[in-house]
Amino acid sequence: MPHADSAMIPPGMDKIAFWAHVHEQLSHLLDGQRNWVTNLANASSLVFNALQAFPEFGTGDRMVNWCGFYLNSELFPPPSLTAPMATEDNRFARLLLGPFCGKPACQLINVSPERARGVCADAYRQKKTILVQDVEAYPGHIACDGETKSEVVCPLLLTVSGEERAIGVLDLDCLGLSGFDERDLDGLEKIAKLVVGACDW
C-alpha cells in the first residue's frame, strides 16, 4: 500500500473504530524502521491527516489544527560539548519540539520542578494524559496558536531497567472547545505506546 493512503479513513466509522484503524495503519507504517525521528515524523503526519479525513475533526470550528511531539532534549544530538546537560530533575530539564504537523510552535518547554509550566510539562511530569476542554481555563497553558481552544497531551513512557520514564509527549490541539474526549485519550495512549515500542531510544 502506498504510504500516503495510510491516512485514508473509510466512511461511517465511529471514534473507537477510527482510533483502532489509525493504530493498525501506523503499525504497518512503522514496520521495519526504528529511527525515532523518521517514525515520529510519519506518526504525526498519519494521525494529523487521518483526523483531517475524519468528519468529526476534519472541518470548520472543530478541526484539529496541530499534532506533534515534544521530546526530552537529551534525546537530540548535543548542540555543543559545552551545553548543559538536561537531567530529569535539574534546572535545565526541558522538552524540545520534535516532528509535528500544523503551524510553527514553541521550541522549548521547561519541565524542571521549579519552572515547569503548561499542559505538556504537566503531562510529562505526572506521566499521565491530560485532557483540556478549554485552554484559557488551564493554569499555565502555553499558547502557541491563539486559535487553539482545547488540547490533549499524552506522555511517551519508556520502561528502562524496570522503571517507567517519560521521554516526551504527544500533543494534539483543536479549534473547538471540548474537542477531545475519553475515546480520544484512550486511542492516543495506544498510539503513544505503539510509537515508543517501535523506536530505538
Closest-CA residue to 52 (of 7, 15, 22, 10):
7
Any contact of residue 151 with ligand SME (CB under 6 A)?
yes
Q: How far is the CB of 50 from ligand SME (least distance, A)?
A: 19
Any contact of residue 119 with ligand SME (CB under 6 A)?
yes
Any contact of residue 177 with ligand SME (CB under 6 A)?
no
Any contact of residue 118 with ligand SME (CB under 6 A)?
yes
100 — phi, psi (to 5°)?
Answer: -155, 170
Any contact of residue 51 with ligand SME (CB under 6 A)?
no
Q: Contact at 8 Å (CB) between 123 and 131?
A: no
Any contact of residue 173 with ligand SME (CB under 6 A)?
yes
How many other CB atoms are found less than 10 A from the CB of residue 163? 7
- Find where cell 510552535 sits: 105
Q: How far is the CB of 42 from ligand SME (least distance, A)?
A: 19
Q: Among 105, 157, 158, 177, which residue sits at the site for ligand SME (rule: CB under 6 A)?
A: 105
Any contact of residue 157 with ligand SME (CB under 6 A)?
no
Any contact of residue 144 with ligand SME (CB under 6 A)?
yes
Q: Among 18, 19, 36, 66, which residue sits at the site for ligand SME (rule: CB under 6 A)?
A: 66
Q: How far is the CB of 95 from ligand SME (least distance, A)?
A: 9
Any contact of residue 109 with ligand SME (CB under 6 A)?
yes
Query: Exposure pattern of 46-60 as b/e (b: 16+ CB <10 Å)?
Result: bbbbbbbebeebeee
Q: Which residue is nearest to ligand SME (CB)?
A: 118
Q: How far is the CB of 45 from ligand SME (least distance, A)?
A: 16
H or E element, residue 59: none
Q: Contact at 8 Å (CB) between 66 and 172?
A: yes
CA dist 158 and 115 (Å) reads 24
Closest-CA residue to 67 (of 158, 164, 157, 179):
179
Count interface residues toward ligand SME (CB under 6 A). Answer: 14
**Residue numbers of the site for ligand SME (CB under 6 A)?**
66, 105-106, 109, 118-121, 141-142, 144, 151, 171, 173
